[in-house]
């Protein structure tokens, strides 16, 4: 019964994949450019040095459990002592007795590089601290934003049927309610799939520049649930707003997110603001209670947003987003049941 909706979801996934693929290709190009013309990534440099046949590599485990690797490369005049303290924390000391064309070493990710000149040579100390990359908050948050866009695109499911296809949709041997529920479930699968696809793409981008330092904390999973539910709740709200429309629904789908984003911000305007803003706040505050953006705080990964500081904890966000999704979905279904061809 939902073949058409699966096709729509498939198209959305395809377009998302193409967009993410283009972004990834641009990132690969940027990475190659950086490798050739930009600073040398410290960890890549050490890795390459280890693989050089002229290098002599000694690896030992220190009493504190950390792993020490010593690389000697007389041909290049390089001596490296790298200590891996675990959890992305490494200290690398590079002594270069010869001047080379590529002296500038950088760290992509969290870390410090200190280089001192010593005659024709140099001493470089690198300390990486990629413990933070054990969190996937950024990846999940950005993926949530992409899922939100997908939800916005898919939310025209009912109005697109109203726009000249009801004779097909409503002469299927299934009740309108069942068809509507199935349609929305298919779209929700699509939203989740877009989120997964985007999260994978974000990991790939991270791996490209920062290496494979992935980790997911319990809080990250909560964030994932919140952003996905946020996208679904926003989708349901848009479905509710457009379920009875036969045309012009694109305007609502395209502009509602601006209002949706503004409402939580306006609702947190300070008491000292001018009267006009306080009036807007009075209007926005009750609306913010039913605005999914109030709870789907993608701004968690962009904490500069004012409302993020006042937002309730996840324990509140998740049940509220579930409730909003269900209420908006029910409203959409009730409206769509009454639409005439």
Binding another protein (rule: CB under 8 A), the pick from 21, 47, 74, 164 is 164
Burial 294-305 (b: 16+ CB within 10 A, else e): bbbbbbbbeeeb
In the stretch 177-216, what mask flags binding to another protein with x, by CB under 8 A?
-x--------------------------------------
Binding another protein (rule: CB under 8 A), the pick from 63, 65, 173, 218 is 173
User: What minimum distance in Å lies between the beta carbon of 112 and another protein?
Assistant: 54
Structure-block tokens of residue 145: 């934003």
Instruction: Determine, following the binding rule CB under 8 A, whether residue 56 of this chain makes contact with another protein.
Output: no
User: What minimum distance in Å lies between the beta carbon of 4 and another protein?
Assistant: 6
CB of 92 within 8 A of CB of 126? yes
Describe the crossing of helices 176-210 and 3-37 by its angle, rounded to 10 degrees. Answer: 10
Q: Which stretch binds another protein (CB under 8 A): 114-122, 171-179, 181-189, 196-204?
A: 171-179
In the stretch 288-317, what mask flags binding to another protein with x, by CB under 8 A?
------------------------------
Helix (H) or strand (E) holding 217: none
Describe the crossing of helices 314-337 and 218-242 by its angle, rounded to 10 degrees. Answer: 20
274: which residues sit within 8 A by CB, 6+ positions away?
Answer: none
Binding another protein (rule: CB under 8 A), the pick from 131, 166, 259, 308 is 166
The backbone torsions φ and ψ at residue 68, rounded to the nearest 5 degrees and listed phi first, read: -110, 130
Angle of CA points 294, 296, 302, to nearest 5°: 95
CA Rg value for the chain? 27
Instruction: Determine, following the binding rule CB under 8 A, whether residue 168 of this chain makes contact with another protein.
Output: yes
The backbone torsions φ and ψ at residue 269, rounded to the nearest 5 degrees and listed phi first, read: -60, 140
Instruction: Determine, following the binding rule CB under 8 A, whether residue 7 of this chain makes contact with another protein.
Output: yes
Instruction: Determine, following the binding rule CB under 8 A, whether residue 170 of this chain makes contact with another protein.
Output: yes
User: What minimum distance in Å lies between the beta carbon of 71 and another protein?
Assistant: 58
Owner of token pair 């080379």 = 100
User: What minimum distance in Å lies between the beta carbon of 163 and another protein?
Assistant: 10
CB of 155 within 8 A of CB of 228? no
Separation CA 294–CA 229 (nearest Å): 12
User: What minimum distance in Å lies between the beta carbon of 169 and another protein?
Assistant: 9
User: What minimum distance in Å lies between the beta carbon of 94 and another protein?
Assistant: 58
CB of 111 within 8 A of CB of 157? no
Size, binding site for another protein by CB under 8 A? 19
Number of C-beta neighbours around residue 293 at 10 A = 23
CB of 82 within 8 A of CB of 92? yes
Separation CA 237–CA 149 (nearest Å): 13
Identity of the residue, 165 or 310, whose beta carbon is nearer to another protein in the bound complex: 165
User: What minimum distance in Å lies between the beta carbon of 8 and another protein?
Assistant: 9
Binding another protein (rule: CB under 8 A), the pick from 1, 75, 278, 302 is 1
Binding another protein (rule: CB under 8 A), the pick from 174, 200, 207, 251 is 174
Instruction: Determine, following the binding rule CB under 8 A, whether residue 171 of this chain makes contact with another protein.
Output: yes
Binding another protein (rule: CB under 8 A), the pick from 58, 59, 175, 255 is 175
User: What minimum distance in Å lies between the beta carbon of 166 and another protein?
Assistant: 6
Q: Which positions lie near another protein, rule CB under 8 A?
A: 1, 3-4, 7, 164-168, 170-175, 178, 338, 340-341
């Amino acid at each position: 019964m939902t073949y058409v909706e699966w096709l729509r979801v498939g198209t959305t996934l395809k377009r998302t994949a193409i967009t993410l693929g283009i972004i990834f290709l641009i990132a690969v190009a940027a990475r190659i450019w950086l490798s050739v013309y930009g600073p040398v990534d410290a960890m890549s440099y050490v890795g390459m040095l280890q693989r050089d046949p002229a290098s002599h590599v000694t690896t030992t485990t220190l009493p504190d459990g950390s792993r020490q690797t010593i690389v000697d490369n007389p041909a290049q005049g390089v001596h490296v002592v790298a200590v891996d303290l675990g959890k992305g924390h490494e200290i690398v000391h590079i002594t270069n007795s010869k001047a080379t064309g590529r002296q500038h070493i950088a760290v992509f990710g969290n870390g410090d590089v200190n280089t001192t000149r010593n005659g024709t040579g140099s001493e470089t100390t690198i300390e990486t601290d990629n413990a933070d990359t054990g969190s996937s908050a950024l990846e999940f948050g950005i993926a949530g934003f992409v899922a939100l866009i997908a939800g916005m695109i898919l939310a025209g499911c009912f109005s697109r049927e109203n726009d000249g296809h009801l004779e097909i949709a409503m002469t299927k041997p299934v009740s309108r309610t069942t068809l509507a529920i199935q349609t929305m479930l298919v779209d929700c699968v699509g939203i989740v799939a877009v989120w997964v696809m985007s999260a994978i793409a974000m990991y790939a981008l991270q791996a490209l520049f920062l290496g494979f330092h992935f980790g997911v904390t319990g809080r990250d999973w909560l964030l994932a649930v919140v952003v996905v539910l946020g996208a679904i709740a926003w989708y349901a709200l848009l479905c509710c707003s457009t379920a009875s429309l036969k045309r012009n629904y694109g305007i609502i789908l395209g502009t509602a997110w601006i209002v949706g984003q503004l409402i939580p911000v306006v609702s947190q305007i300070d008491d000292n603001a001018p009267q006009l803003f306080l009036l807007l706040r009075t209007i926005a505050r009750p609306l913010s209670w039913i605005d999914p953006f109030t709870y789907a705080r993608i701004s968690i990964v962009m904490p500069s947003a004012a409302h993020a500081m006042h937002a309730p904890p996840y324990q509140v966000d998740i049940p509220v987003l579930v409730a909003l999704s269900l209420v908006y979905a029910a409203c959409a279904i009730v409206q769509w049941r009454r639409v005439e061809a």
